[in-house]
A and B are shown apart, each in its own frame.
Chain A
Amino acid sequence: DGGITQSPKYLFRKEGQNVTLSCEQNLNHDAMYWYRQDPGQGLRLIYYSQIVNDFQKGDIAEGYSVSREKKESFPLTVTSAQKNPTAFYLCASSTITGGELNTEAFFGQGTRLTVV
């Protein structure tokens, strides 16, 4: 079955540690996205990538890093520089046709990160 998989579902991090959230898709999608969801603030874009080895900062990239070494994978690292990392993180992917994002984005089931 094609889809997008995030792991782990729950993640606990000690203050000062870096953690990496996994996102894998087998939909052959060009674009991949990372969003952060906090109560009352909707989905805020962290990073996005339209092609392998290239990515762009979203609205809240500070304290996060990403890589896109393979089309299928777009891991997100939450660094110790992120002051308030406790949140729900969603990964998504979509196709780009004619240079435009014009189809629905498919989402993973999310990772709940908690700083302890």
Chain B
Amino acid sequence: AQTVTQSQPEMSVQEAETVTLSCTYDTSESDYYLFWYKQPPSRQMILVIRQEAYKQQNATENRFSVNFQKAAKSFSLKISDSQLGDAAMYFCAEGGGAQKLVFGQGTRLTINP
């Protein structure tokens, strides 16, 4: 079975600081993919970053990077130089051989000016 757990319902950070959002997952698949999505107040889901489980190198996209620990089944998102526009709900998700995409409960990120 696929499960994704985000243990931080809410996080806050000062503008320009760095914040890390946590995610753990469980899957019986050998090949899988991990994603972080952002949902701003408009509720439109936006892909932030994607990681292939077979790659050891952590994915990065500008100010966003992940810390992927495969043995620990951990997939955290680091946001550097936080900006007011980063304020949103962030969802971790896992997909792969089971061909379904499973999401965590989400973390609401607040940016303090």
Contacts and interface: CB of A to CB of B under 8 A. Distances in A.
Interface residues of A, number: 27
B91 A42 contact: yes
A33 interface: yes
A31 interface: yes
Given A90-B45, A104-B50, A109-B43, A96 B101 contact: no
A53 to B, nearest CB: 16
Given A104-B47, A107-B45, A35 B103 contact: yes
B105 A92 contact: no
**Number of chain B interface residues as a range:** 20 to 34
A42 B100 contact: no
Contacts of A90: 45
A42 B47 CA distance: 15
A10 to B, nearest CB: 12
A102 B93 CA distance: 12
Contacts of A102: 33, 52, 95-96
Contacts of B52: 102
Contacts of B6: 42
A53 B36 CA distance: 30
Interface of B: 6, 9, 31-33, 35, 43-45, 47, 50, 52, 91, 93, 95-106
Given A101-B101, A105-B35, A105-B47, 18 more contacts: A35-B103, A42-B91, A43-B91, A43-B103, A44-B103, A45-B101, A45-B103, A90-B45, A92-B101, A99-B99, A100-B31, A100-B32, A100-B95, A100-B96, A102-B52, A102-B95, A109-B43, A110-B43
